[in-house]
Amino acid sequence: MATKIDVTNLPGPTPRMEAIKKRFINTTPEICVERAQLITESYKETEDLPTHLRRAKAFEKILNGMTVFIADDELIVGNQCTKPRSAPVYPEFSCKWLEAELDRLEKRAGDVFLISEEKKKILRDLFPYWDKKTSNELATSLMTDDALAAQGAGVFTVGNYYFNGVGHISVDYAKVLAQGLNGIIAEAKAELAKVDPTNPDDLKKMHFLHAVIISNEAVIAFARRFAAEADKLAASEKNGQRKAELQEISRICQKVPAQPASSFWEAVQSFWFIQLVLQLESNGHSISPMRFDQYMYPYLQMDKGITAEKAQELLDLLYIKFSEINKVRDEGSTKAFGGYPMFQNLIVGGVDSEGEDATNDLSFMCLQATANAKLYQPSISIRVHSNTPADLYRKAAEVSRVGLGMPAYYNDRFIIPALLSRGLTREDARDYGIIGCVEPQVAGKTEGWHDAAFFNMSKVLELALNDGVDALTGKQLGPKTGALDTFTSFDDVMKAYKTQMEYFVKLLVISDNAVDIAHGQRTPLPFLSSLVDDCMVKGKSLQEGGAHYNFTGPQGVGVGNVGDSLTALKKLVFEDKAITLAELKKGLATNFEGVDMESMRQMLLNRAPKYGNDNEYADTIAHEGALIYCREVEKYSNPRGGRFQPGLYPVSANVPLGTVVGASADGRKSGTPLADGVSPVSGVDQSGPTASVRSVARLDHVIASNGTLLNMKFHPNALKDDRGIQNLVGVTETFFNGGGTHIQYNVIARDTLLDAQQHPDNYQGMVVRVAGYSAFFTALDKAIQNDIIARTEQMF
């Protein structure tokens, strides 16, 4: 590149960037009906075709028919909807909930979407076509009654993929940049030449490859619609500079993503088209750019004409584009995924496939773009290893100080071995990135199904202490493992917990696999599949097992509550004999009503050791409670030929999952939130962050290879100077040295959050980290806001 980049002094936001951001903030999300109309028309036209071809034809129709526009001053172009931040509709996955909630979209507590009566009518008219045709309805019919009952009681939810596309993937962006989609098409044609249609598998492969070619050509044509739009705008543009920009946009969109990129601007635009259309093909979220600093760097290096300012501005503008992507979820899901999150995770740093430090100028610039844009997308992350340059660590800590809850820090030293243990090659394990919140995988080769479920570990313990009977409904939900007052030892408690766990993990597996099979049958994604190894060679979509690596990753929620409950039982009931089982049974059944029961609750809260305070007794039990879940999950296989792998993170599902759990032996009242990720229970981590970090490191993070999540919240004072940055690095390094895999820092003061609750208008742009992602605080449901505020504030 022409000028050397000074990574210690990167350019701030440009006036263009500020103007586009302001426009973005002032845009209210709406529902866009174009995609729903186009796909419904297409499906009606193609009822006689094989599924892959139907999918490709529908994708083509959407890309050809949807509105395209280039907004004022934009350099990176490509829109998902008729307006930025609007959300398309994907009726082929599910639409009954949307039909039922159409009138609630503007009125609900969080993640509001505007929609006109006219658009509601359009949707109401087309929804009947989809009756019984969705992936959701097929999945339901594949599930067993006991699995549906367990979901109904809130033992686990598979809602994410049950109602939506899967997403949670990172494609081979490097290949698109280097070969263009023409390269992908050529590869498909080469495979096609090898096909022998008399072989039944090859006959299916042939249709799949045709679908790949149609889809890729549709994307090229889509890009050229922007070239035409730019030409049109340029023709009437008076401002000479803008006219030249539009002409350049036209040239670039004519060229990429069809052909290889040969400048940084071309590479960014090519990347964006891919990132955008993946979200139009399916409504899966967490489509993650991952190691952007690695695959984009060659294009920055080869770009002789570009300045640091221009390169930074292009990145900053791309970050706004990331934030424009949106998705409408059902009201229940907004409680688990609050804040319009799309979880597009971009990670910098780490080692390369040889094990050497991979940091480059772009690693710094990606962090700088987060500080410049101050938006919640992309979710920015940093990989840390033994030789991470001090400057990069420092840059990351400086961005943490901005208060967006980003970046998240990931530990190469334990994640790489965790991935090796799941069968990745050494080179692939070293090349991992992060999907969505916290889930590690290698790009372009993996169908990780990372967000397979939220599994309510706390509910399972409730059932274990209640003879398998749901405390809230009185229904026999699990096996009869004995009433609480029949246990004679702590071992009896653990046995009951294990038995219930075995039972409900089985039901979880049935549910996940039912959804998985349904996606394979009804909603395969040929374009996405063409960008992931080994789909084209195998002749199978990702959804049918085409990927090189296949996993299913359900998340355990409530580690801290299970640990603290078991600890209180062991200590206060079986060791100290301060509480009898009969008394505890009564307390749990009555939600600790009455002063005697309240007194016992206080004893459970304050007289038993608690996970998160550097107490080995409590930490060991929390470790065991989580391990029982993890060991059970990793026994099973999925329909794509891969294995289940457990994770321990909640997104914000710890709030809704808490509402279905009765009073618990840790002193928690019925219906209140569960602990967040592997973080200690809110409010009991009174020994400060160093103690929390030591406790959390005692869990087995390697077996939880689908990811763990530790949220640390600091007062802004904490990072006000160089010492604060040094201390943040010290905490991160100590945690990582001890075995932790993920940590993130929230640095907004409690008072600020309280004030933001009272005066949301003053805080429209304020981003906080909720769990594995960041969101606008004021867009969150009040219960989630309260949960964030309640987390013990770690005053430096």
Partner 1 sequence: MSWTHEYLLYDPDAGNRPELTGLVSDFQRFSIHDGPGIRTIVFLKGCPLHCAWCANPESISPRPEIMLISHNCIGCGKCIDVCPAKCFGASDRIVCAIDRDSCLLPECGKCQRVCYANAVNISGRYLTVEEVMEVVMRDREFYDRTGGGITFSGGEPFAQPVFLLELARTAKVLKLHTAVETCGYVSWNIFNSVLEYLDIVLFDLKHMDPAMHLQGTGVDNQMILENAKRVDASGKPIRIRLPLIPGFNDSEENIRATAGFIASFSNLEALDILPYHRMGEPKWGQLHQDYKLHDVAPHGKDRVLELADIARSFGIEVTVGG
Work out whether 247 is an interface residue with partner 1 (CB under 8 A).
Answer: no
Which of the stretches 328-336, 400-408, 522-530, 611-619 binds partner 1 when contact is defined by CB under 8 A? 611-619
Instruction: Check if 630 is active-site.
Output: no
Which of the stretches 177-185, 519-527, 632-640, 722-730 binds partner 1 when contact is defined by CB under 8 A? 722-730
Work out whether 724 is an interface residue with partner 1 (CB under 8 A).
Answer: yes
The residue from 261, 382, 557, 718 that contacts partner 1 (CB under 8 A) is 718
Residue 333 region by backbone torsions, left for phi larger than 0, else alpha for psi between -120 and 50, else beta: alpha
Quote the distance between the C-alpha of residue 497 and its chain's center: 29
Catalytic hit among 437, 462, 535, 634: 437
Residue 349 region by backbone torsions, left for phi larger than 0, else alpha for psi between -120 and 50, else beta: left
Work out whether 794 is an interface residue with partner 1 (CB under 8 A).
Answer: yes
Query: Interface mask (CB under 8 A) for partner 1, residues 641-680, using x and -?
Result: ----------------------------------------
Instruction: Say whether 777 sits in a helix, a strand or coil.
Output: helix
Q: How far is the CB of 310 from partner 1 (least distance, A)?
A: 39
Work out whether 790 is an interface residue with partner 1 (CB under 8 A).
Answer: no
CA separation for the pair 617, 610 (Å, rounded): 9
Instruction: Check if 18 is active-site.
Output: no
The residue from 80, 164, 400, 615 that contacts partner 1 (CB under 8 A) is 615
Q: Which two tokens stand for residue 360?
A: 């480059």
The residue from 189, 475, 480, 723 that contacts partner 1 (CB under 8 A) is 723
- Long-range contacts for 420-426 (Cβ within 8 Å, ≥24 apart)? 421/702, 421/705, 422/551, 422/643, 422/645, 422/705, 423/549, 423/643, 424/549
Query: For residue 448, which amino acid is it?
Result: G
**What is the DSSP track for 515-568?**
HHHHHHHH---HHHHHTSTTHHHHT--GGGT-SSEEEE-EEEE-HHHHHHHHHH
CB nearer to partner 1: pick between 181 and 729:
729
CB nearer to partner 1: pick between 476 and 727:
727
The residue from 89, 306, 315, 729 that contacts partner 1 (CB under 8 A) is 729
Q: How far is the CB of 704 from partner 1 (least distance, A)?
A: 23
Give the orientation angle of helix 412-420 with respect to helix 722-738, to 10 degrees: 30
The residue from 64, 386, 599, 764 that contacts partner 1 (CB under 8 A) is 599
Q: Report yes or no: 645 and 551 within 8 Å, Cβ to Cβ.
A: yes
Q: Report yes or no: 397 and 728 within 8 Å, Cβ to Cβ.
A: yes
Q: Report yes or no: 155 and 662 within 8 Å, Cβ to Cβ.
A: no
Q: Report yes or no: 634 and 557 within 8 Å, Cβ to Cβ.
A: no
Work out whether 695 is an interface residue with partner 1 (CB under 8 A).
Answer: no
Q: Report yes or no: 161 and 169 within 8 Å, Cβ to Cβ.
A: no
CB nearer to partner 1: pick between 162 and 611:
611
Residues 363-402 that bind partner 1 (CB under 8 A): none
Look at residues 318, 259, 323 and name the one whose alpha carbon lies nearest to residue 293.
318
The residue from 1, 203, 691, 702 that contacts partner 1 (CB under 8 A) is 691
CB nearer to partner 1: pick between 201 and 598:
598
The residue from 50, 688, 739, 765 that contacts partner 1 (CB under 8 A) is 688
CA separation for the pair 39, 49 (Å, rounded): 14
Q: How far is the CB of 414 from partner 1 (least distance, A)?
A: 16
Catalytic hit among 191, 229, 439, 544: 439
Q: How far is the CB of 381 from partner 1 (least distance, A)?
A: 22
Give the contacts of 441 (CB within 8 A, at least 6 positions apart). 170, 419, 432, 433, 435, 448, 450, 549, 551
The residue from 686, 751, 754, 759 that contacts partner 1 (CB under 8 A) is 686
Q: Which two tokens stand for residue 571?
A: 């200590």
Which of the stretches 306-314, 343-351, 511-519, 605-613 binds partner 1 when contact is defined by CB under 8 A? 605-613
Work out whether 614 is an interface residue with partner 1 (CB under 8 A).
Answer: yes
Which of the stretches 22-30, 393-401, 466-474, 734-742 binds partner 1 when contact is defined by CB under 8 A? 734-742
The residue from 179, 353, 476, 690 that contacts partner 1 (CB under 8 A) is 690
Q: How far is the CB of 695 from partner 1 (least distance, A)?
A: 11
Look at residues 27, 274, 39 and name the one whose alpha carbon lies nearest to residue 175.
274
CB nearer to partner 1: pick between 431 and 614:
614
Listed in sequence order, the DSSP H helices in 388-469 are: 390-402, 412-420, 426-430, 457-464
The values of phi and psi at residue 496, to 5°, are -65, -40
CA separation for the pair 385, 216 (Å, rounded): 38
**What is the DSSP track for 241-279?**
HHHHHHHHHHHHHHHTTTS---SHHHHHHHHHHHHHHHH
Work out whether 51 is an interface residue with partner 1 (CB under 8 A).
Answer: no
Work out whether 575 is an interface residue with partner 1 (CB under 8 A).
Answer: no
Q: How far is the CB of 584 from partner 1 (least distance, A)?
A: 14
**What is the DSSP track for 295-314?**
HSHHHHHT-TT--HHHHHHH
Work out whether 730 is an interface residue with partner 1 (CB under 8 A).
Answer: yes
Work out whether 580 is an interface residue with partner 1 (CB under 8 A).
Answer: no
Q: How far is the CB of 583 from partner 1 (least distance, A)?
A: 13
Burial of 599 (0-12, 13-18, 19+ CB in 10 A): exposed
Work out whether 752 is an interface residue with partner 1 (CB under 8 A).
Answer: no
The Cα-based distances of 648 to 513, 594, 677, 706, 782 in angstroms read 20, 35, 6, 8, 24
The values of phi and psi at residue 456, to 5°, are -90, 85
Q: Which two tokens stand for residue 27?
A: 């845009």
Work out whether 16 is an interface residue with partner 1 (CB under 8 A).
Answer: no
Q: How far is the CB of 712 from partner 1 (least distance, A)?
A: 11
The residue from 726, 754, 762, 764 that contacts partner 1 (CB under 8 A) is 726
CB nearer to partner 1: pick between 420 and 603:
603
The residue from 46, 254, 687, 752 that contacts partner 1 (CB under 8 A) is 687
Q: How far is the CB of 567 from partner 1 (least distance, A)?
A: 10
Size of the site for partner 1 (CB under 8 A): 38
**Which residue do the tokens 């949220």 mark?**
711
The residue from 64, 199, 737, 762 that contacts partner 1 (CB under 8 A) is 737
Q: Which two tokens stand for residue 310?
A: 């221009």
Work out whether 733 is an interface residue with partner 1 (CB under 8 A).
Answer: yes
Q: Report yes or no: 753 and 788 within 8 Å, Cβ to Cβ.
A: yes
The residue from 386, 602, 637, 762 that contacts partner 1 (CB under 8 A) is 602
CB nearer to partner 1: pick between 686 and 764:
686
Work out whether 605 is an interface residue with partner 1 (CB under 8 A).
Answer: yes
Residues 315-354 that bind partner 1 (CB under 8 A): none
Give the contacts of 374 (CB within 8 A, at least 6 positions apart). 21, 402, 404, 765, 767
CB nearer to partner 1: pick between 522 and 715:
715
Q: How far is the CB of 680 from partner 1 (least distance, A)?
A: 13
Q: Which two tokens stand for residue 305?
A: 């004409």
Q: How far is the CB of 390 from partner 1 (least distance, A)?
A: 12
Q: How far is the CB of 174 from partner 1 (least distance, A)?
A: 36
CB nearer to partner 1: pick between 52 and 694:
694
What is the rounded (10 degree) CA torsion for 287, 128, 47, 163? Answer: 20
- Strands of 416-517, DSSP E: 432-435, 439-442, 446-447, 453-456
The residue from 596, 722, 751, 755 that contacts partner 1 (CB under 8 A) is 596
Q: Which residues are catalytic?
A: 437, 439
Q: Which residues are near partner 1 by CB under 8 A? A: 595-596, 598-600, 602-603, 605-607, 609, 613-615, 617-618, 686-691, 694, 717-718, 723-724, 726-727, 729-731, 733-734, 737-738, 794, 796
